[in-house]
Amino acid sequence: MSFLSRRELLDAAARLTALAAWPGGATADDYPSRSIKLVIPYTAGAAGDLIGRPWADKVAPLLGPVHVENIGGAGGAIGSAAVAQSAPDGYSLLLGNGSTKVTIPLSSAQPAYDTIRDFRAIYRLITSTLAFAVHPSLPVKDLRELAAFAKANPGGLSYGTPGVGTGNHLVGEMFRQQSGLAADLIHVPYRGMAAATNDLVSGQINSVIAVVSSQNLQLHFAGKLRLIAVTSDRRLSGAPEVPTVIESGMPGLRYAGWFGLFAPKATPDAIVVRIAAATRTAMADPQLQESYRSQGLEPDIDSGPDKFQRLVEDELVRLAPIVKSIGLKRD
């Protein structure tokens, strides 16, 4: 039997310590030992808050405190990049969506992050639909009339979105292309949807393309804005009078949005699985499901890391030629 020298023992101990400190060697045994930060890459009060904050509240008994931080700007790219650069330890998560994970990287010449290289998917929380909304003073009731108005009033139709390269912007450019509009449609990017909606209500802009939410449904029923089309296959149960883009003669505008949880790429499997399991438990709660459905959102109760990762990768492949064909560019 051979014995290790003191130096060999110290060297071995040092290697084990380094291995334990490396993210790939981490386990979920002691996770989490402190509060988790969820970055919502949009300004406070936008759709991201209506999705991320209820999740944070519901998952807290399972994972401990979740601190929500809004980091808006660049259509969600600034907050997303911040999480991509965070330590891969499970304490910095991102509430990402089709805009931040698909459209923005595809439409950027020098993206601040790479969806596949810098992130790993954890769980899709909800699916959503976008809506075309106009100021009540605009004499249009559907997409055909909206296109006709734009053609008859060059430069007179402006639409707000939460930023260049977002899914909202993508749908707007698809509308421009399919309606034969050129300079007749002006895109006005905002740091978040809340500011765009406020400007629509006050008449600073005359239309927006927004994620359907309880806020814009309430404004619609109050007559402060008018929803004229939704990008889903079916009409909304909460506003059945609003036609779909298919019924409006523009099936090519169908677009299903989603929001979900992401972590930095090197986050250990054990931690990702633990977050996903806690999220699945939280999503099974009827109260949380109802809070989402009341906002026009559909909760996903059967997601997971592998399933969600495949969806994101498929979306990148599917939308790449569309982004290229319409010349959508952020920089």
For 224-245, how does the pLDDT look when each residue is reduced to its tens digit (9 = 90+)?
999 999 999 889 878 899 999 9
Phi-psi label, residue 276: left if phi above 0, alpha if psi -120 to 50, beta otherwise:
alpha
Quote the pTM value. Answer: 0.76
Mean pLDDT, range 4-12, rounded to an integer: 39
For 72-114, how does the pLDDT look when each residue is reduced to its tens digit (9 = 90+)?
988 899 999 999 999 999 999 999 999 999 999 999 999 999 9
Q: What is the pLDDT of residue 27?
A: 56
Q: Of the given ranges (1-10, 58-67, 233-242, 280-289), which has the lowest mean pLDDT? A: 1-10
Phi, psi of 194 (to 5 degrees): -60, -45
Residue whose tokens read 């997971």: 304
Helix axes 305-325, 167-179, angle to 10 degrees: 40
Q: How far apart are CA 95 and CA 48, in angstroms?
A: 7
In 3-state terms, what secondary structure has residue 148? helix
Nearest residue to 166 via CA among 82, 72, 66: 72
Position 273 pLDDT exceeds 90:
yes
Nearest residue to 47 via CA among 151, 221, 179, 168: 168
| Residue 41 preceded by cis peptide, ω within 30 | no
DSSP string, 232-264: SSS-BTTBTTSPBTTTTT-GGG--EEEEEEEEE
Position 250 pLDDT exceeds 60:
yes
- Across the chain, mean pLDDT equals 89
Q: What's the distance, Cα to Cα, between the start and end of the chain in Å? A: 67
In 3-state terms, what secondary structure has residue 111? coil
Q: 167 versus 268: which is more confidently predicted?
A: 268
Query: Bridge-partner residues for 92, per DSSP?
Result: 37
Position 276 pLDDT exceeds 70:
yes
